[in-house]
Structure 1
Amino acid sequence: MTEPFTQAAGEKKVLTADDDASGRLDAWIAAALSGQISRNRIQSLIRDGVVNVNGSPVHEAKHKIAPGDRVEITVPEAEEAEPQAEDIPLDFLFEDDDLIVIAKPAGLVVHPGAGNWSGTLVNALLYHCGSTLSGIGGVKRPGIVHRLDKNTSGVMVVAKNDFAHRHLSDQFADHGRTGPLQRAYLALVWGRPAQLKGTIDAPLGRAGADRTKRAVRTGDTADTRHAVTHFQVRERYGETDGSGALASLVECRLETGRTHQIRVHMEHIGHPLIGDPEYSSAFKTKVNILPEPAGTAVKQLHRQALHAYLLQIEHPRDGRTLRFEAPIPEDMSKIITAFSTL
């Protein structure tokens, strides 16, 4: 009927009906494209007048296809929905004409996306800053230079203009190799790493068909990315007679910045983050054998125990080094206090 559908948005695709073609136009197009565009989407395109049959636009999805019909379809570029300003409280650590530094709470999504079109950090920043945010990040990511997972708390910097955005983006891309950039996290992990200090050098890529989950990859695939995490054990909890610790507080510093990097790397060495729903499922039963009050404190944690406590940057305008720290949030602090009594 036709070759596989490989059209980029904005390009025209030409299909020719076979000798036995029949039925509704929308159903025929969906079959011709092997389901690579949903039927609902095709119906919308027909209504929008971007589907032509034999050189003329057709606006009815029920239009009957006939053998030999020449169908032209153009998929428009997707338009990003413009986020709306929302009065969401933020914890500001610093602000001037070039940048904003905040302590992001756990549960706050950084920018709008599927399932999170409102209530994000971007919505809050638009309310606070109006139209002054940098536009480099696009409609959905104004001012965003880096990001933290929804359920990771900690320090974030946001650019207020394009000059600051470019300068800060260059710093994050360099990962502190030639400048003062530092990013450090505190993580509560199960057990105690064999080494009190070490480096995890393990490439990351998609975990199978799951678009959001990551895994350590040994093969050279298109989505595999170099990833390096440096860690140091700060505290050990519940350690008696050399039998190993129940949990540890670990400081992690990023040499690269990949999606879920710390979470996957700590799981890779056998010490996943406490509370991590994606990467510590094998340790869920450990919660039930924790002594009190540690057991209750862990059960009340509804996220991975990861906090970006430190961010150091070079100010894009005057070059001075700025260092920001965010205190450990209450949910993690309760666990640390409870573990400290073991």
Structure 2
Amino acid sequence: YIIVIDKGYGLLSMSTERIKTGTAYSILSDYVKSQNPENKLFIVHRLDRDTSGLMMFAKSKGIQEQLQHNWHNIVLERKYVAVVEGVMEQPEGMVRSYLTENAAFQVYSTDNPDEGQLAITRYKVLGGNSRFSLVELDLETGRKNQIRVHMHDLGHSIIGDRKYGAHGSPLGRVALHAVKLRFAHPVTRREMNFETPIPARFLSITSGANRINTAEK
């Protein structure tokens, strides 16, 4: 009924007007058709090109619609990890705003509920050093570019994310990874829990947290 993949960064979730092949969708579609030419594939949700991690597909139109229409009831937990610039002021917290988009496709926050869609992101600092912080992010809503905008709003843009204020790209990518996806199976109702490791480069660039914490104590 469903397929969950661990998408690599730099890989488009689906085709665009310019790029039709070599996407997560086209690669996986070729895979299911190699098993049976009648097999089809349907995208349930997307990850940005430079975001890696867990992504779900449906194997029928009916399952896709069921997942999308009941997304907030079916999905029990979605967590990401990111490396952000600087030292976070608070060890954990929440960002709440309304997200809207301008003509240049730039998403931004507003306090006016009539201008955008409600977006809520909870965050928790996992570690870091004097330059970067490793942050776990729990989505209560799933708006376009939500995490990227909210980290920018806090003054700690995700490294490599120049579109939303990052000053540099020390890893040569946007350091955002979908690390956990927990949901109720749309048919069996059984709880499904998928996790993927935090990228090793995220951990190496934020190393030194223990030394900082020890010094503070």
TM-score bracket relative to the smaller structure:
0.7 to 0.9
Aligned-pair identity (%) = 35
| CA distances 1:170-205 after superposition (whole Å, capped 9, x unpaired) | 342x2xxx4552100001111233221111001111
Aligned position for 1:132: 39
**Greater Cα shift, 332-341 or 224-233:** 332-341
Question: What's the CA shift for 1:336?
Answer: 3.5
Aligned position for 1:114: 17
Please say if 1:267 is aligned against 2:152.
yes
Distance (whole Å) between structure 2 residues aligned to residue 248 and residue 323 of structure 1 = 26
Q: Any gaps of 5 or more consecutive residues in structure 1? A: 1-97, 134-141, 239-245, 285-297
Residues 166, 254 of structure 1: alpha-carbon distance in 2 compared, 3 angstrom cutoff? same
Aligned position for 1:218: 111
Among 76, 80, 83, the alignment partner of 1:188 is 83
Please say if 1:322 is aligned against 2:197.
no
| CA distances 1:34-68 after superposition (whole Å, capped 9, x unpaired) | xxxxxxxxxxxxxxxxxxxxxxxxxxxxxxxxxxx
Aligned position for 1:313: 183
Distance (whole Å) between structure 1 residues aligned to residue 184 and residue 83 of structure 2 = 29
SS of the residue 2:64 aligns to: helix
Contact 1:171 1:181 in 2 (8 A): no
Contact 1:180 1:321 in 2 (8 A): no
SS of the residue 1:235 aligns to: strand
SS of the residue 2:87 aligns to: coil
The residue type paired with residue 328 of structure 1 is I
Once superposed, which parts of structure 1, at least 4 consecutive aligned residues long, lie more than 4 Å away? 219-222, 337-342
Question: What's the CA shift for 1:221?
Answer: 5.6
SS of the residue 1:198 aligns to: strand
Matches within 5 A, 1:1-342: 98-130=1-33, 131-133=38-40, 142-172=41-71, 174=72, 178-179=73-74, 181-206=76-101, 208-211=102-105, 213-219=106-112, 224-238=116-130, 246-281=131-166, 283-284=167-168, 299=170, 301-337=171-207
Distance (whole Å) between structure 1 residues aligned to residue 194 and residue 85 of structure 2 = 28
Contact 2:129 2:207 in 1 (8 A): no
| CA distances 1:205-257 after superposition (whole Å, capped 9, x unpaired) | 11x4312x2111234565x211111111111313xxxxxxx221111111111
Contact 1:230 1:254 in 2 (8 A): yes
Structure having greater relative contact order (Cα 8 Å, sep ≥ 6): 2
Report the structure number with the largest CA radius of gyration: 1
Question: What's the CA shift for 1:104?
Answer: 0.4
SS of the residue 1:166 aligns to: helix
Aligned position for 2:215: none
CA RMSD of aligned residues (A): 2.2
Q: Any gaps of 5 or more consecutive residues in structure 2? A: 213-217
Contact 2:98 2:112 in 1 (8 A): no
Distance (whole Å) between structure 2 residues aligned to residue 180 and residue 100 of structure 1 = 15
Q: Give the TM-score taking structure 1 as reference length.
A: 0.56
**More strand by percentage:** 2
SS of the residue 1:119 aligns to: coil
Distance (whole Å) between structure 2 residues aligned to residue 331 and residue 105 of structure 1 = 14
Distance (whole Å) between structure 2 residues aligned to residue 148 and residue 193 of structure 1 = 25
Question: What's the CA shift for 1:337?
Answer: 4.4
| CA distances 1:77-122 after superposition (whole Å, capped 9, x unpaired) | xxxxxxxxxxxxxxxxxxxxx1111100001101111332221111
Distance (whole Å) between structure 2 residues aligned to residue 277 and residue 114 of structure 1 = 23
Contact 1:277 1:303 in 2 (8 A): no
Residues 233, 337 of structure 1: alpha-carbon distance in 2 compared, 3 angstrom cutoff? closer
